Amino acid sequence: MAPGQYSTDAQQHTLQPIVTGATVVGLKYKDGVIVAADTLASYGSDARYKDVCRLKKVGEYTLLGASGEYSDYQYLSDQLDEMADEDWLNEDGCLMGPKEYSSYIGRVMYNRRSKMNPLYNQFLVVGKKKDEPAHLMYVDHQGTAFEEDFVATGFGMHLGMPLLRNSWRPDLSLEEAKELIQKVLEICFYRDCRAYCKIRIGVCTGTSVDIGDPIPLNHFWGHNAWIEKRLENTSDAIGTW
């Protein structure tokens, strides 16, 4: 697409994602909801920024996880901060929860898509407000939004969802949920060249919202088939992969 082809002011439009984040995974467990993402923001194919947090606390009961264009995520993050501040300033004893924030995000994404100026993101909006049921919603750049018990964005949709379908249960403990979500991101790290081996996990329990410190993933690259020197002393590539 030529710059300005659909806009008189091309600087106001993201014509293609530049700095992007990969998979975000979220799932409900027995006492709340959990979400996780790696800490990498890629500059094209360059693994440029390796200590980025793509999880954000919104209000008192909600977490936002973002895949896709990082600057668009920052724009929406600023909008949500303004909403949260206004909500707090009302001082009416009634704060917005994950359902309200996910509904707002879905309308923003659909509005921007309808103006041919989308935010190039896939979001997971998760949370638990006091004694209400845990909430987990997926929202993408077209405004498509749906609730689920577990979901992943990016390549996690293809690589991680089979594992989640086989292993998820409504009565998972927090430790079991963390173990499962780390396994999904470990698989994504092995198979997705935009993924990374350091992750952050966010947990919503209904009374607290916490984003943990970065956690390194276990990984192993010493398999014999990967390190065998098959091209030495050969004149062609026959028998290699």
The catalytic site residues sit at: 14
Contact 112, 91 (CB under 8 A): no
Alpha-carbon gap, residue 57 to 80, rounded angstroms: 10
Across-strand partners of 20?
A: 42, 69
The torsion defined by the Cα of 77, 160, 140 and 126, in degrees rounded to 10, comes to: -50
In one letter, which amino acid is 181? I
Alpha carbon 241 to chain centroid, angstroms: 33
